[in-house]
Amino acid sequence: MMNEIIKKKLNSFPILLFGLRKLFSVFIGSFQFFQLSILNIIIRPFLHRPKYNKKYKIAICGIFKNESLFLKEWIEYHEMIGIEHFYLYNNNSDDNYKEILQPYIDRGLITLEEWPYEQGQIKAYNHFYDSFRNETQWVSFLDIDEFFCPRYKENLYDWLKSKDKYPALLVYWRMFGTSGKLHHDKKRLVIEQYTVSWDHLYHCGKCLINTDYEISEFNAMTHHLPIVKFPILSKLMRINVPPFNQFGWLVKDPFHYSLFYNEDKYSIQINHYWTKAWEIYEKKRRMTDVFFKDNPKLNMSYFYEHEFENRSVDYTIFRFLMQLKLKSGLYIE
C-alpha cells in the first residue's frame, strides 16, 4: 500500500514540476510587463523627432552569401519605397553578385564591403555602426529575403514620419513559405510567386534604428531587438531602452503584445520569404550560414515547424508589383 502511494507521488511529480514552471514564468512575465510599463511612462516625455541633418534619411545594412539571383529585385523594390542607400557585406559569395551590384555601386546607391569572416553577421553590423552610422538617420539590418511592406503609405518614410520619435521601431514579420513549389521560377519575381503565408504576424521582426542613439551592445539579438542608450535629462544620465514595436509598445522577449493590435488596422509588415521554393531552401541547408555555426536548416523538423503555419494567402505587397515591374524591367515580354 505504501509503495503504491509513493509511486503515485512520483508519477505526479513531473506534472507538478511543469505547473510550478508555468507559474514561475507567469510571475516573471508579469514582473517584466510591469517593468516595461514603468519604463514606458518614464521615457515618453523625453522622446523627440530627429533633425534629419544626415546624408540619408533611411538606409539598409545587409549581409549576403550567394544570393545574386535575388539582389536586383530586393534593391529595386526597396529603393522604390524610399530606401536611399544600401550598405552591403558580401560573405564569401562565389556567384555573379559583383556583376549585379556594379551598376548600383556606380550610381552611388550601394556601399559594398567584402566580408570574408565565417558567421560574420554581427561583426558586419558592428562595422557598419562604427564606420557608417553617421551617414544615415535611420537604418535597418535587413536580409535579402525580407521586404518592408507598408499597407497604406506609398513609401517607408511617409509611414515613419508619424512614429519617428522612437529610438528604435520593431516591424513584425509576415512569414511566407514555399507556396507548394519544388522549383523557383527565375523568370518571375519573388514577391509575385510566393503568396501563401502565416495567418498572423510573427512575434519576431526587424527594427528601424535611429542612429542618433548608441546601441548598448551588439549580440545575437541586436538586429531583432536592439537595446539603445537613451538620455534622461542629460547625456550623462542614460538608461538602456528596448525598442518600441510598430503599435507603440515597448517590447522585450517574451513580450511582443501580439494580442494588443487589430489585424485589420496595422499599417506595415515585413514580408519574410523565409524558404522560397524547396530547391532554394535545400541549397541553403547545405551552405555554411552567415549567422549560425551549426545550420538549423539541416533539421527537417525546423522546416516543417514553419511550413505548417502557412494557412493564408497575403497579396498586400502586390500593390507595389506593377510599379516595380515598370521601374526596373523585372518582367518578361
Q: Is residue 63 part of a domain?
A: yes
Report CA-CA distances (Å) from 156 to 93, 162, 278, 318: 29, 11, 31, 16
Give first-to-last CA distance, the chain, whole Å: 83
Q: Is residue 44 part of a domain?
A: no
Question: Alpha helices, DSSP H only, in the chain?
Answer: 2-43, 68-80, 97-107, 121-131, 156-160, 190-193, 278-286, 300-307, 321-328
Q: Is residue 290 part of a domain?
A: yes
Q: What is the CATH number of the domain that holds 156?
A: 3.90.550
Beta pairing, strands 168-176 & 205-210? antiparallel
Residues 232-246 as b or e (16 or more Cβ within 10 Å = b): eeeeeebeebbbbbb
What does the DSSP 8-state code read for residue 181?
-
Co-location of 34 and 59 in the same domain: no
Average pLDDT, rounded, for the chain = 84
User: Exposed, middle or buried, 259 (CB in 10 Å: 0-12/13-18/19+)?
Assistant: exposed
Q: Quote the domain boundaries for residue 33.
A: 1-38
Over pLDDT 70: what percentage of the chain?
Answer: 80
Q: Among 19-23, 183-187, 307-311, where is mean pLDDT lowest?
A: 19-23
Q: Among 95-109, 134-148, 284-298, where is mean pLDDT lowest?
A: 284-298
25: phi then psi, degrees, rounded to nearest 5: -65, -35
Co-location of 132 and 32 in the same domain: no
Return d(Cα 182, Cα 178) in angstroms, integer. 8
Helix %, strand %, coil % of the chain (to 5): 40, 25, 40
Above 50 in pLDDT, residue 118? yes
For every residue of 208-252, DSSP letters joined together read EEETTSEES--STTTTTS--EEEEESEEEEEEEEPPEETTS-B-B
Return d(Cα 107, Cα 158) in angstroms, integer. 24
Co-location of 14 and 77 in the same domain: no
Stated pTM of the model? 0.85
Q: Is residue 43 part of a domain?
A: no
Co-location of 146 and 19 in the same domain: no
- Are the C-beta atoms of 279 and 180 separated by less than 8 Å? no
Sequence-separated (6 or more) residues with CB below 8 Å from residue 172: 201, 202, 203, 204, 205, 245, 246, 256, 269, 270
Nearest Cα to Cα of residue 209 among 118, 137, 259, 106: 137
Tell me the per-residue pLDDT of 167-200, one tens digit each, with 9 for 90 and over: 999 999 999 999 999 999 999 999 999 999 999 8
Q: Is residue 46 part of a domain?
A: no
For every residue of 7-52, DSSP letters joined together read HHHHHHHHHHHHHHHHHHHHHHHHHHHHHHHHHHHHHGGG------
Co-location of 182 and 231 in the same domain: yes
Co-location of 103 and 19 in the same domain: no
Above 60 in pLDDT, residue 231? yes
Q: Is residue 45 part of a domain?
A: no
Q: Among 134-143, 279-288, 307-316, where is mean pLDDT lowest?
A: 279-288
Co-location of 32 and 98 in the same domain: no
Above 70 in pLDDT, residue 8? no
Number of domain units in the chain: 2
Above 60 in pLDDT, residue 201? yes
Tell me the per-residue pLDDT of 27-67, one tens digit each, with 9 for 90 and over: 444 566 777 878 888 888 889 999 999 999 999 999 999 99
User: For 242-251, what is the mean pLDDT?
Assistant: 88
Co-location of 241 and 302 in the same domain: yes
Co-location of 291 and 155 in the same domain: yes
- Are the C-beta atoms of 188 and 74 separated by less than 8 Å? no
Reported residue count of the chain is 333
Above 90 in pLDDT, residue 223? no
User: For 8-21, what is the mean pLDDT?
Assistant: 42
Q: Is residue 124 part of a domain?
A: yes
Co-location of 148 and 263 in the same domain: yes
Co-location of 19 and 149 in the same domain: no
Report CA-CA distances (Å) from 119 to 91, 168, 172, 276, 298: 9, 25, 24, 22, 16
Instruction: Look at 25 and 208; give whichever has higher pLDDT.
Output: 208
Co-location of 31 and 57 in the same domain: no
